[in-house]
Amino acid sequence: MKVLFVSQAHENLGIQYLSAALKTAGFQTALALDPRLFNETGFIRIPALAKLLDGRKSFLREAAAHKPDLLCFSVMTDSLGWAMETAAELKRLTGAKAVFGGIHPTSLPAETLLTGVPDFVCVGEGEAAIVELARALRDGTDPQSTPNIGFLRNGAPVLNPPRPPIENLDTLPFPDKELYYSNYPFFNCGYLADTSRGCPHTCAYCCNNVYHGVYGAKWFRRRTPSCVIDELKAAKTKWNPPFVHFVDEVLNSDEDWLTEFAARYKTEINLPFSCYAFPDALTKQTAALLAEAGCFKVQTGLQVYDDKKRMGLLRRPSTRKAAAEAIARLKKRGIYVTVDIILGFPDETEQELSNLLEFFLANRPDNIEVFFLKCYPHAAITEWAKANNYVSEKELADMAAGVTGSGIVRPPEGKARELAARYARIFTLLPLLSAKRARSMAQGKEGMAALFPLLALKTAARIANHPRYDFFTLQFKGAYRYFAKKCLANLLGFGH
């Protein structure tokens, strides 16, 4: 029985945990990556280069050569269209069954099944479910009573209730890095790790808002410091990574836990690391713990200027004052600071954007990560948008079916749309701008900056002012070098 994970060319810690669970249970696993160079979901699209470096035929051929019995896809709303097209083609080529897991099938399990592509969906946490499903398919027994698993019966969706979340994360095998590193060595540029699952918060725009709806307060759990340290010791011995990137939603949610972990990390691991942190929990003590343990970069969030909007509409229990203090404390400790913001609210005003600019001129991070508001299935922000007629029933149905290719973006219109685009450019470049230049751009005097796409400005800003290590940039560059070289070799007849 062979299980093939099929993904786009990004490291996925969830896939690594699933693969580890399957291998522990005696199953074979493999990985096939679709490079999608210059044609990435929600990112960089340059059609001419995408056509030149199209590696899809090679990817499908290599995936089919594994002769899988079960195809596994981790599916976000933005990748649903790709997952359906790819799964349909690989099912035709191999005769394998397909299961979709991840946030989109968890949000819309029935609708995902009704696309007619996956044979099964997995709702919520998947380690136990995927092992039971694989075992049933291998042994020829009925998988239809497996908790978390959904399927079609006579054309109608049947959804088994999810089992409780794994209470003790220490019982899980360490993530299967071999799955990625053995065939795609460029992934071994830094070690991707977590110390927890879920998030203590339920921000209205986030996937954790949906997962809390499935599991409640039990969704957030943390591994013991000993478990994480043991994993990182093994990683140092086997892979010798230059740094660690923790993907926890909030590494600093428990100061007592962090105190113990930071002390042991410094003495037993002693590698530079980056992480995400919640600003209101970034006390003087927390900032000191992170810095002394070797943290070189923290990404945190402000999202919007107005506290009432943040805590009310966005359901994010955080204040502007806390964000300002967090930026100052981290920078005082020499830690590179990235702050997330969200633009493009349908009711966004010029005054809000101007206030946000003044905030950042007074509290300068090293980088501002600009996002635009997206509505995803069953997130609380989507219900708000629906109630206020910012999204239509047709848009919601198209999103559920994978027609839109992403979450729903409903930017302001007319002058407000121009303002949002202008301020996106300003915030992206702000770490490089004087206050006078930033305010001049806000008045519409953008000069050459208005001629460049936002991605180009982000790239320039990152090159000019970057942290010691940048995990996702390193993996992006490694993937593009590896797959571009492979595609060109195939194009010139040197491939195998």
3-state SS of the chain: helix, strand, coil percent to 5? 50, 15, 35
Residue 65 has pLDDT above 80, yes or no: yes
CATH superfamily of the 189-467 domain: tm_1862 like domain (3.80.30.20)
Whats the size of the chain, residue-wise?
Answer: 496
- 76-106 pLDDT tens trace: 999 999 999 999 999 999 999 999 999 999 9
Beta bridge pairs of residue 33: 7
- 66-77 pLDDT tens trace: 999 999 999 999
Mean pLDDT of 227-240: 98
Residue 167 burial by Cβ neighbours in a 10 Å radius (0-12, 13-18, 19+): exposed
Cα separations in angstroms, 331 against 5, 189, 288, 423: 40, 26, 11, 24
State residue 42's pLDDT score.
63
- Model pTM score: 0.95
State residue 494's pLDDT score.
64
Question: Residue 89 belongs to what H/E stretch?
Answer: helix 80-94
Cα separations in angstroms, 32 against 20, 62, 126, 404: 16, 7, 19, 25
Tokens representing residue 399 in the block: 């999103």
Average pLDDT, the chain: 94
Q: With both helix axes pointing from N to C terminus, report the angle between 415-429 and 350-362 in degrees, rounded to the nearest 10.
A: 10
State residue 176's pLDDT score.
98
The yes/no answer on whether domain 2-167+479-491 falls in CATH 3.40.50.2300 is yes
- 137-183 pLDDT tens trace: 999 999 989 999 999 999 999 999 999 999 999 999 999 999 999 99
Domain ranges, ordered by start, for the chain: 2-167+479-491, 189-467
For 53-86, the DSSP string reads T--HHHHHHHHHHT--SEEEEE--GGGHHHHHHH
Tell me how crowded residue 46 is: count the other CB atoms within 10 A of its CB: 12
Residue 495 has pLDDT above 60, yes or no: no
Tell me how crowded residue 182 is: count the other CB atoms within 10 A of its CB: 13
Residue with tokens 């997952």: 83
Give yes or no for a contact between 63 and 39, defined as CB atoms under 8 angstroms apart. no
Mean pLDDT of 438-459: 88
Mean pLDDT of 428-456: 90
